[in-house]
Structure 1
Amino acid sequence: MGNKVTIIEYPKCSTCKAAIKSLKAKGNEVTTRDIVNDTPTAKELKELLEISGMDIKKLFNTSGEVYRELGLKDKLASMSEKEKLNLLSQHGMLIKRPIVTDGKQVTVGYKEDLYEQAWGGHE
């Protein structure tokens, strides 16, 4: 039996679809959340960072259109964590996806070996 996980994803994203398929194949009970229509709040994003221990920069979709449009490559370094969290919570497409959590651990992005380690093989 797998975990009960929530995946914060973009329904049209092929990587997100592959991630959901992988999670289900590993026996996880998956709840989906649309990253655009139900964007995580700054508080939720901060909690995800605290659980994961990762740097906030890992939450940014640096290859996305919004990231480029806002010129964030040059601006992020001078922004506070609070400013970054607020920005992410206002623009769902700025957030690297998919984000998966069970409340105890968090993964960002999709790599099969990472998913195997985090979300698979817990029979």
Structure 2
Amino acid sequence: MEFTFVCYPKCTTCQKAKRWLEEHHIPYTMRDIKEQNPTKEEITLWYQASGLPLKRFFNTSGLIYRSMELSKKLPQMSDEEQLDLLSSDGMLVKRPILTDGQTVLVGFREKEWEEKLL
């Protein structure tokens, strides 16, 4: 099974994750999140498959997240509104995201990736 590796190539965490995938010979197709923003449908599917809270899909250290003061706004927003927001700009989305349809990993935590992929 091949994974889709959704990342921002200039992101150092994404670069570490890419190296990790290559070192462990895990096949993937790379997708630049800035050039090909995830759709609302994709994010909804990833969210449902991941079992994670929707907040985990936000790039909380990103400039847009901070400038929009989303840490204050998200708790009052519905899932629908959050999904609309996430699909509006790839730079709002936590990265990398690695998925094969069933498994969805958000952000790069080496231990978690080892547990799920090796």
TM over 0.5: yes
Alignment of 1:14-53 (within 5 A): 14-53=12-51
Q: State the Cα deviation string for residues 39-88 of structure 1 (Å, max 9, x = none).
A: 10111000001111111000011111100111111111111111101111
SS state at 2:5 partner: strand
Which residue of 2 is the match for residue 11 of structure 1? 9
The 5 A counterparts of 1:75-94 are 75-94=73-92
User: Which stretches of structure 1, 4 residues or more, deviate above 2 A after TM superposition?
Assistant: none
Q: Any stretches of 5+ residues in structure 1 without a counterpart?
A: none
Match of 2:69 in 1: 71
Q: Compute the TM-score of the two structures, normalised by the length of structure 1.
A: 0.92
Structure 2: gaps of 5 or more residues: none
Partner in structure 1 of residue 107 of structure 2: 109
SS at match of 2:21: helix
Shift of 1:114: 1.0
Picking from 54, 57, 71, the partner of 1:59 is 57
**RMSD, aligned CA:** 0.9
